[in-house]
Structure 1
Amino acid sequence: MKLYLFGMDFTVYITLLPIVFMMHDFEELIFLKPWLGRNREMLYQRFPTLARKILPHLDRLSTNAFALAVAEEFILLSVITYTAVLFEYYYVWFAALVAFTVHLLVHIGQWLVLRRYIPAIVTSLLSLPYCLYTLYLFCRESRIGPAEGLLWSAGGLILMVLNLFLAHRLGTRLDAWLSVTAAPRPVPARKSNQSLR
């Protein structure tokens, strides 16, 4: 099923997804740790139960670990995207686009609840029009039915949640590995010149 929209190959819209995803995750990657440092007390005051569950995990994840989690998600999304283009089978890609769109809507909801900058809102607001417009075009041109669309969307959301756990687990393992391999090693004592004589 080759899709053309307004005379333009839909491949352009499809291949933008990993790029838009990375732009969004760069904002999170760069600003999350400093933002948490400045807003920790507010989060514990306003959302004590949630903060007690989530913040210790985020504190344990280094920037390296978070970057690995983002890289894993980017690789998976890229494989899904370019497989869709190569085989002209777009439904798994559609599921990933729906999951990413929901992810952006969650960030926008967080921003509305907190009423302050969160490290994802700028790129969420910039990325959402691309996602919504591409979803609209895909649903219109591919003739995907409502039941089929909901089924693929549910699958994409389940995959997103499972992969989020996997990505964070990989990050945690990276931190554990780095703490062992990067730990300072004792320097052997040098023998004095007198003991050599």
Structure 2
Amino acid sequence: MTLLSIILLLPVFFAIHELEEIIMMQRWVSKNRSTLYDRYPKIGFIIRLMEKVNTRGIAIIAAEEFVIVSACTFATAYTGNIVAWYCCLAAFGIHLVIHLFQFITWRRYIPAIVTSLLCLPYCIYAIYRISGLLTQTEFILYAAVGIAIGVINLLAMHFVVGKSTCKYI
């Protein structure tokens, strides 16, 4: 598989993963709401954030993130500079690992675990394939940048979408 093919697959894997979250998240949060608050009282603010966003809102957030991932991917394909793409890949990979830890902690299905397990091998292989293109310092720095931007964007989108969508639509 060529490096270009690996680069162009990121939006595909991202979309597949986000689709599972879009389909399953609202129903799962509603079903597990009280247990989430009981087991994880210290992250009540995150649970409240998740409750404010309905399926339409999750789809809006996923679409916005997909546009960013796709733009970075196509910029990389066009210019050959992998930094923006790697920032997205690193943020996506960490996102998947977080789902894996959530699944281990929760000990039963969580939205996105199925596609996390399917997408993680791609992320690992993609990182392996670009390992000679960045220094170790660049890998760490750009991963941190990608994760920071991803977290800030996700929180901002949850805030905006949570205010603009009704939970019951």
* TM-score category of the 2 structures, normalised to the smaller one: over 0.9
Q: Write the distance in 2 (CA, Å) between the matches of 1:79 and 1:111.
A: 30
The equivalent of 2:19 in structure 1 is: 26
Give the Å deviation of 1:26: 0.6
Aligned match of 1:159 in 149, 152, 158? 149
Aligned partners of 2:61 and 2:161 also within 8 Å: yes
Q: Write the distance in 2 (CA, Å) between the matches of 1:96 and 1:65.
A: 21
Does residue 1:102 correspond to 2:68, yes or no?
no
Q: Write the distance in 2 (CA, Å) between the matches of 1:167 and 1:26.
A: 17
Q: Write the distance in 2 (CA, Å) between the matches of 1:136 and 1:110.
A: 25
Give the Å deviation of 1:172: 2.7
The equivalent of 2:135 in structure 1 is: 145
Bigger radius of gyration, 1 or 2?
A: 1
Aligned partners of 1:24 and 1:123 also within 8 Å: yes
Name the structure with the higher helix share.
2
How large is the RMSD of aligned CA atoms in angstroms? 1.7
What SS does structure 2 have at the residue aligned with 1:83?
Answer: helix
Q: Write the distance in 2 (CA, Å) between the matches of 1:62 and 1:38.
A: 13
Q: Write the distance in 2 (CA, Å) between the matches of 1:15 and 1:67.
A: 22
State, as a whole percentage, how many aligned pairs show the same letter. Answer: 36
Give the Å deviation of 1:163: 1.2
Does residue 1:48 correspond to 2:41, yes or no?
yes
Give the Å deviation of 1:139: 0.7
Q: Unaligned 5+ residue runs, structure 2?
A: none
Q: Unaligned 5+ residue runs, structure 1?
A: 1-7, 183-197
Letter in 1 for 2:156: L
Q: Write the distance in 2 (CA, Å) between the matches of 1:168 and 1:124.
A: 21
Give the Å deviation of 1:173: 4.4
Aligned partners of 1:69 and 1:170 also within 8 Å: no
Aligned partners of 2:90 and 2:146 also within 8 Å: yes
Aligned partners of 1:68 and 1:170 also within 8 Å: no
Q: Write the distance in 2 (CA, Å) between the matches of 1:100 and 1:17.
A: 9
The equivalent of 2:78 in structure 1 is: 86
TM-score by length of 2: 0.92
Q: Write the distance in 2 (CA, Å) between the matches of 1:113 and 1:175.
A: 30
Does residue 1:120 correspond to 2:112, yes or no?
yes
Q: Write the distance in 2 (CA, Å) between the matches of 1:107 and 1:115.
A: 12
Aligned match of 2:29 in 17, 31, 36? 36
